[in-house]
Amino acid sequence: MSDSNLSKHISNITELVQDYLKHNLEQKWELSPHFAQTAQILTQLHSADIAQLLESLPLNERMCVWQATTNDRFGDILLEVSDAVKASLLADLEDHEIISAAQNLDADELADLTPELPKDIVNELMQSLDEQQRQRVNSALSYAENQVGSLMDFDMITIRDDVTLEVVLRYIRRLKEIPTQTDKIFVIDKNGNLTGVLPFKLLLLNDPDKKVNEVMATNSIIFKASEDAHEAALAFERYDLVTTPVIDDNGKLIGRLSVDAVLDLVREESETEVLNMAGLREEEDLFAPVWHSVRNRWSWLAINLVTAFIASRVIGLFEDSIEKLVVLATLMPIIAGMGGNSGNQTITMIVRAIALEQIKTGNTSYLMVKELSVALINGIIWGSVIALITWLLYDNFALSVVMIAAMILNLLLAALMGVIIPMMRLFLNKDPALGSSVMITAITDSGGFFIFLSLATIFLL
């Protein structure tokens, strides 16, 4: 469908719903003509587009659209929306609707959904599955979020290696359906162990009389289900992969990793990074009740209050000095603020390079020297600028010297900690990104106030 068509449909739906909510509140939504029209337009939209629409509507409008969606779409849509919106949609469904929606899903999709569902519904669901499906759901659920196993699906075509390509072609034609994104067939032996892969490319390029084991690729990229998902995503980017087989620790083929799951992971990782940098705990439904938002923003604000309070106590140590020379209070935020910005530059670079596996703990001293040099130069440059301005404003040469010295020292502190903090966390096997910005800012604030005010106390008073 063309883009203009899509946005026309979406604005039609929005108008219908808003019109109903404005004028027809005495008539039930399901009985209104608006409902029928909305439902009709919705049938023409892709589930992913309906999901996007639901994300972008306030709660009451969202529920109208959701109710006008046919039951068979529920499963696909629930998979596409963010966790926050998912909760609001699930809350509107009866148990039996959830179960019938879930029954349309593949095993890996079911595994994605179950953590959000009430326990008794999950039990009922699992009992309605056949043995293979149940095993697959359990297998997918047995891996942590950061493991390849939690991203894999089971949409694969498998063959033996002793048949001809002609046979493979006939076998595929009989399947009637090929899973999306399939670009290769997995070759297994009689124990289910992976022996190679047959890309469609090789299937199409080679003489149909050849056997699979003559043309199949045996050195292609394979992941174990227990491997790190982030590293698998980097490999997809590096080698331009579309799908890869996933095996267990014994070499048995158990699933498939595809580029759409990788794309979602890359997007999600970057979201999480940005959200955490900004002090949000998790993704937030834009139209969630106020109370949800308050709770989501709670934890970082609390941390921030503690760090701000510490910085305030540092200033408190120097109240006598400030009383004697009040301009210190005026100038101190400049030192702290520049340190914060500079420290964030350093720590962000280091954290990113760690995530992209460009640095190891061995590089620490090299990077430290470099960052300290950059900080020294920046400190001299910006310290001089602000010292000059200070001199012009307050005509106090000693104060200007204190400004430049404090700027240089705080930028050096920022660089030092900007390298040490993520490297320490890497060394301790912790996530170097989490809270890095808050930590470095706390240090450059308290440190900046301390450096500036103590220099001033020593040399100016």
Which 145-164 positions form the footprint of a second copy (CB under 8 A)? none
- How is residue 291 written in tokens? 């109370």
Stretch 183-202 residues interacting with a second copy (CB under 8 A): 183, 200-201
Q: Does 311 bind a second copy (CB under 8 A)?
A: yes
User: Near a second copy by CB under 8 A, which window of 35-43, 114-122, 318-326, 424-432?
Assistant: 318-326
Closest approach, Cβ 142 to a second copy, in A, equals: 22
Residue 193 pairs with which residues in a beta bridge? 252
Give the type of residue at 145.
E
327 binds a second copy, rule: CB under 8 A = yes
By beta-carbon proximity to a second copy, the closer residue of 30 and 357 is 357
Minimal distance in Å, beta carbon 94 to a second copy?
28
Nearest of 69, 75, 72 to residue 57 by alpha carbon: 69
Binding flag, residue 277, a second copy (CB under 8 A): yes
Q: Based on the shown chain and the rule CB under 8 A, indicate whether residue 336 belongs to the binding site for a second copy.
A: yes
Which residue number, 122 or 315, has a Cβ lying nearer to a second copy? 315
Q: Specify the residue, 80 or 112, whose C-beta has the smaller distance to a second copy.
A: 80
State which H helix or E strand residue 258 sits in.
Answer: strand 253-258
- Among the listed residues 146, 226, 307, 396, the single contact to a second copy using CB under 8 A: 307
First vs last C-alpha separation in the chain: 74
**Binder among 195, 206, 226, 454 for a second copy (CB under 8 A):** 206
Pick between residue 74 and residue 300 the one whose CB is nearest to a second copy. 300
**In the complex, minimum distance from the CB of residue 326 to a second copy, in angstroms, rounded to a whole number:** 5
How far apart CA 19 and CA 13 sit, in angstroms, is 10
Q: Is 3 in the site for a second copy (CB under 8 A)?
A: yes
Q: How far is the CB of 283 from a second copy (least distance, A)?
A: 9
Using CB under 8 A as the binding rule, the residues of this chain from 233 to 272 that contact a second copy are 236-240, 242, 259-260, 262-264, 266-267, 269-271
Considering only 134, 160, 230, 352, the residue that binds a second copy (CB under 8 A) is: 352
358 binds a second copy (CB under 8 A): yes
- Angle CA 334–337–342, to nearest 5: 120
Residue that is written with structure tokens 């604005």 in the block: 11
Residue 367 within binding range of a second copy, rule CB under 8 A: yes
CA distances 302 to 25, 226, 336, Å, are 42, 36, 20
> In angstroms, how far is CA 134 from the centroid of its own chain?
28
Q: Choose, by CB under 8 A, the member of 437, 452, 456, 457 that binds a second copy.
A: 437
Q: Is 331 in the site for a second copy (CB under 8 A)?
A: yes
Compute the distance between CA of residue 455 and CA of residue 223 in angstroms, rounded to an integer. Answer: 57
Q: Which x/- pattern, by CB under 8 A, does the window 391-420 give for a second copy? A: ------------------------------
8-state DSSP, 73 = G
Nearest to a second copy of 39, 234 (CB atom): 234
Interaction between residue 216 and a second copy (CB under 8 A): no
Q: At what angle do helices 397-427 and 327-355 cross, to 10 degrees?
A: 30
Task: Number of residues interacting with a second copy: please give it, by CB under 8 A.
Answer: 119
Looking at the Cβ atoms of 97 and 268, the one nearer to a second copy is 268
309 binds a second copy (CB under 8 A): yes
**Interstrand relation of 194-199 and 184-188 (parallel, antiparallel or unpaired):** antiparallel
Element (H, E) at 411: helix 397-427
Select from 87, 217, 308, 401 the one that contacts a second copy (CB under 8 A): 308
Residue 344 tokens, joined: 């964030």
Buried b (16+ CB within 10 A) or exposed e, 122-144: bebbeeebeeebbebbebbbebe
Distance CA 197, CA 305 (A): 55
CA angle 57, 62, 65 (to 5 degrees): 120
CB of 426 to a second copy, least distance (A): 14
Please say whether the beta carbons of 350 and 419 come within 8 A: yes
Report the phi/psi class of residue 192: left, alpha or beta, with left for phi > 0 and alpha for psi in -120 to 50. left
Among positions 66-85, residues that touch a second copy (CB under 8 A) are 80
The answer to whether residue 22 forms part of the interface with a second copy (CB under 8 A) is no
**CA-CA distance, 438 to 456, in Å (whole number)?**
27
Rounded to whole angstroms, the Cα distance separating 320 from 322 reads 5
Cβ distance to a second copy smaller for residue 183 or 189: 183
Residue 370, interface with a second copy (CB under 8 A)? yes
Binding residue for a second copy, selected from 385, 388, 398, 458, defined by CB under 8 A = 385
Task: Work out how close the CB of 377 gets to a second copy at its nearest, in angstroms, rounded to a whole number.
Answer: 5
Q: State the Cα–Cα distance between residues 397 and 235, nearest whole angstrom.
A: 57
| 373, 427, 458, 461: which one binds a second copy (CB under 8 A) | 373
